[in-house]
Amino acid sequence: GAGVSQTPSNKVTEKGKYVELRCDPISGHTALYWYRQSLGQGPEFLIYFQGTGAADDSGLPNDRFFAVRPEGSVSTLKIQRTERGDSAVYLCASSLEAGGTGELFFGEGSRLTVL
Amino acid sequence: AQSVSQHNHHVILSEAASLELGCNYSYGGTVNLFWYVQYPGQHLQLLLKYFSGDPLVKGIKGFEAEFIKSKFSFNLRKPSVQWSDTAEYFCAVKVSGGYNKLIFGAGTRLAVHP
């Protein structure tokens, strides 16, 4: 596709449930990033993939959060035992390579609401 | 660790007014600096960036930003705003030479009235 695609665009779930959020980056982009944006805040880094491997997962808040990118393209962010504090917009971004040009191409985000 | 502070959370202007949005960062080493913009209903996109060289950087849509190293600042300016500039603006920093692990400020929501 032309841009970064994220699904679902909106997800409402109950506390304690499991959630998966999907990101389809721009074709050919080897670097993929997940960010989380809470209300009134800027995006907060979660994890960075270069190819299939998670090169930096220092932003994941705890072990309920996990992300994979098995074939170096599509990535899935997985959240176990969701809590109300997980409610946020989860943003995915990709860039052409690992080198830091600073230009990230963002998707429109998945808005997660935990009731 | 790096951090970014944006001083204005909400700004309201009339068309043709001048704009300056403040951004200060905290980091002792060499950084790269960015402004991203999010128009209503759209995704975040890069407005401009500073890596090295001329500290006055020009971006799209008539925006510019000036890097003042001694003040750890990277303020965004536009001489005359338009209604279509209504958006949220985010300042971001990353460590020079590193990958695109951007640290964002909290954002400034700009509303321009016709």
**Top-confidence residue, A97 or A81:** A81
Q: How far apart are CA B40 and CA B87, in angstroms?
A: 6
Q: Inter-chain contact B43–A102, Cβ cutoff 8 Å?
A: no
pLDDT at A73 over 70: yes
pLDDT class of B95 with cuts at 50, 70, 90: confident
> Does residue B47 contact residue B60 with C-beta atoms inside 8 Å?
yes
Q: How far apart are CA B19 and CA B37, in angstroms?
A: 14
Q: What percent of chain A has pLDDT over 90?
A: 86
pLDDT at A99 over 70: no
Q: How far apart are CA B22 and CA A60, in angstroms?
A: 29
| pLDDT at residue B2, rounded to an integer | 81
Q: Chain A: which residues have CB within 8 Å of chain B?
A: 3-4, 31, 33, 35, 40-45, 48, 50, 55-56, 91, 93, 95, 98-104, 106-109
| pLDDT at residue A115, rounded to an integer | 96
